[in-house]
Amino acid sequence: MTVIYVVTTGGTIDKVYSEQQGVVANVESKIDRYLRLLRLPDTEVRVVPLMNIDSLDMTDSDRARILETVKGLLPEKAPILITHGTDTMVETGLYLQRGLPKLDVPIVMTGAMAPLGFEGSDALQNLTESLFALRLLPAGIYLVSHNQVFPISNVRKDRTLGRFVRIEENSAK
C-alpha cells in the first residue's frame, strides 16, 4: 500500500457554484469526494485541506504555509500532490523549489480550468493523471495537466490557450 498526501489549497478545481450568489467560489474542498470516484486499491490517500482560495489572492504568507506543510510531510517519504489555482501555480511551485531541501519523493502540482463536476471539466482528468504520475516520477517538483508533465522550471500558463506550455528555463521570480 502506497501512501500519497494530497494538500489542497483551492483554485478553480475546488470551486463550487453558489446558488445564493450565482457565482463560483472557493467554499469547502470537494476533492475528497471526487477522489472516492477513483479506484485506488493500492494507494492510501491522505487529504490535507490547507486553505481554499483563488490563487490570484494567494499571498507570500500563504505560500510560506504551503512550504511549511510540505516540509512537515517530507519525513514521511510519501509522494505529495498539491492542488492549486492555475494562475499562480508555477509561482508557488518555484517558491517550493527554492525553499525545500533535496527531495526523496516526487511532488506534483495540479489544478483545472473548470471546477470538478462541471460539464466538460478537466479536473477529474488532471487528478487522475497526477495520482498516477506520483507512482512513476522520480523525486522533484512537477506540474501535471492535460496528459502532460512539466518540471516546474519549464512551464508557464498560457492564458489564451487555456493550458500550460513548456518553456526553456523558468527564472525564479
Query: Which residues of this protein are in contact with its own copies, per CB under 8 A?
Result: 12, 17, 19-20, 22-24, 37-43, 54, 113-120, 122, 125, 128-129, 131-133, 135-137, 146-149, 159, 161-163
As a whole number of angstroms, the distance between CA 87 and CA 58 comes to: 10
- Look up cell 467554499; give the residue: 27
- Contact status, residue 55 vs residue 10, Cβ threshold 8 Å: yes
CB of 32 to its own copies, least distance (A): 14
Minimum CB distance to its own copies smaller for 67 or for 89: 89
Give the DSSP per-residue string, 96-110.
HHHHS-S-SSEEEEE
Minimum CB distance to its own copies, residue 120 (Å): 8
* Contact criterion met (CB below 8 Å) for 163 and 145: yes
> Closer to its own copies at the Cβ: 42 or 168?
42
Q: Nearer Cβ to its own copies, position 45 or 51? A: 45
Q: How far is the CB of 56 from its own copies (least distance, A)?
A: 9
Element (H, E) at 88: none
**Owner of C-alpha cell 489564451:** 160
CB-based contact 4:43 (threshold 8 Å): yes
Contact 124, 160 (CB under 8 A): no
Q: Minimum distance from CB of 65 to its own copies (Å)?
A: 23
CA end-to-end distance (rounded Å), the chain: 38
Cell readout for 66 is 504551503
Nearer CB in complex with its own copies: 48/149 = 149
Rounded to the nearest whole angstrom, what is the least distance from the CB of residue 44 to its own copies in the complex?
11
Q: Which is nearer to its own copies, 85 or 93 (CB)?
A: 85
